[in-house]
Homo-oligomer: A and B are copies of this chain.
Amino acid sequence: MLRRPVGGLWRLGLSHARCSELRVEFRGASGLPSGTEDHVVGAGEPDRFGGVSVRLARLGALDRLDAAAFRRALQAAIQQWQSEGRIAVWLHVPILQSRFIAPAASLGFCFHHAESDSSTLTLWLGEGPSRLPGYATHQVGVAGAVFDENTRKILVVQDRNKLKNMWKFPGGLSEPGEDIGDTAVREVFEETGIKSEFRSLLSIRQQHANPGAFGKSDMYIICRLKPYSFTIDFCHLECLRCEWMDLNDLVKTKNTTPITTRVARLLLYGYREGFDKIDLTMEKLPAVYTGLFYKLYHKELPENYRTVTGMD
């Protein structure tokens, strides 16, 4: 039976590990001759999953330490941690200290991730393949299907830079920390000049190995938006055309993508038989552990199921 219990544990508890790291007192590297093994060993902060973290930003006397001396010290530290049963090393490197990356790599470290002005490398010391949690795997794009129930018209664009000029919904990539509905409203406004508000989530697409996502996966979400302005002022750099199209025409046209046709049919179904048939509505709920809030999307529950406590 294929199981990865330790990996699961690591991943399940990581948030706690990162909050409650044991701060091992650092044995004042600045007083040590460069190259001293204690320099690195002493800086290791154990976590409760059997790993140890080294933050180079907290190490003193780094300027006096050359790459070769760092390598020797790190190698000795790894042996020490291994003898203590540690299963992984996390090495956090400020960008201006990146000369220490290659020596670490020569000892088996790889990049876990890097952003802005620092990188994080890992070395797996445990048995078998690494069970460390990975970094973010998906970019998130959001499109807005802006539908005006009064006129049965839907807002569509043709991209200026695509090989085929197909009708599609305006949209684009989420900014870091941006909610799905906010991305849809923002992108629609930037591309078309139309103001709108979020109504529901309609569809999700997952695609892997996306060249436009630097080889990572792509989650593409289509929202239903309600317009509250109607005069198009579209971005001519991004769009070749932009118009309010009758929903029937979008359902019929061959000059579109399979996903757009699908969502047009879905909207027609919702328009005729009630949007509750197609909508995933949103609710903001408190997270149990972190004190943060999240947004949850699912088919709306009928009134009598919202407070239901059983069916007997």
A4 contacts B by Cβ under 8 Å: yes
**Most chain B CB inside 10 Å of its own CB: which residue of A114, A208, A233, A289:** A114
**Chain A binding surface SS class:** mixed
Q: How far is the CB of A307 from chain B (nearest CB, A)?
A: 9
In contact, B302 and A269 (Cβ under 8 angstroms) = yes
Select A119's contact among B97, B106, B111, B214, beta carbons within 8 Å: B111
Would you give the shortest CB distance from A239 to chain B, in whole angstroms? 9
Q: Tell me the minimal C-beta distance from A257 to chain B in angstroms.
A: 5
| Distance of A286 Cα from B152 Cα, bound (Å) | 29
Q: Choose the segment among A29-37, A38-46, A78-86, A131-139 that binds chain B (4+ C-beta atoms closer than 8 Å).
A: A131-139
Interface residues of A in 103-126 (CB under 8 A from B): 105-106, 110-120
Q: Is A177 in contact with chain B by the CB < 8 A criterion?
A: yes
- Contacts A15-B211, A237-B8; is A219 near B219 (CB within 8 Å)? yes
Q: Contacts of A214 on B, CB cut-off 8 Å?
A: 113, 120, 135-136
**A172 close to B11 (CB less than 8 A):** yes
Q: Does A174 contact B (CB under 8 A)?
A: yes
A151: B residues at CB distance < 8 A: none
Count contacts on A: residues with CB < 8 A to the other chain: 126
Asked whether A277 is an interface residue with its Cβ less than 8 Å from the other chain, the reply is yes
Q: For the complex, give the distance between the alpha carbons of A189 and B1 in Å.
A: 9
Q: Tell me the nearest residue of chain B to A137, going by C-beta.
A: B176
> Does A28 sit at the interface, judged by CB under 8 A?
no
Inter-subunit contact A1/B99 (CB<8 Å): no
The complex places the Cα of A298 from the Cα of B175 at a distance, in Å, of 24
Inter-chain CA distance A128–B294, complex, in Å, is 32
B9 touches A161 (CB 8 A): yes
Complex: A178 Cα to B133 Cα, angstroms: 15
Q: Of A6, A15, A175, A301, which is in contact with the most chain B CB atoms at under 10 Å from its CB?
A: A301
A176 touches B251 (CB 8 A): no
Contact status A269-B15, CB under 8 Å: no
Q: Are A309's CB and B102's CB within 8 A?
A: no
A311 at the interface (CB under 8 A from B): yes
CA separation between A208 and B161, bound complex, in Å?
Answer: 32
A299 touches B278 (CB 8 A): yes
A212 and B8: CB pair below 8 A?
Answer: no
| CB of A156, distance to nearest CB on chain B (Å) | 15
| A15 partner, pick from B6, B140, B212, beta carbons under 8 A | B212
Q: Which 9 A-B pairs have the closest CB atoms?
A: A114-B114, A98-B101, A15-B212, A5-B237, A111-B114, A203-B298, A207-B294, A248-B310, A136-B136
Q: Tell me the A residues contacting B by CB distance below 8 Å.
A: 1-6, 8-9, 11-16, 18-19, 67, 95-99, 101-102, 105-106, 110-120, 133-140, 159-164, 166, 172-177, 179-180, 189-191, 193, 201-214, 216-217, 219-220, 233, 235, 237-238, 248-249, 251-252, 257-259, 262-263, 265-266, 268-269, 272, 277-278, 280, 285-290, 292-299, 301-302, 305-306, 308-312
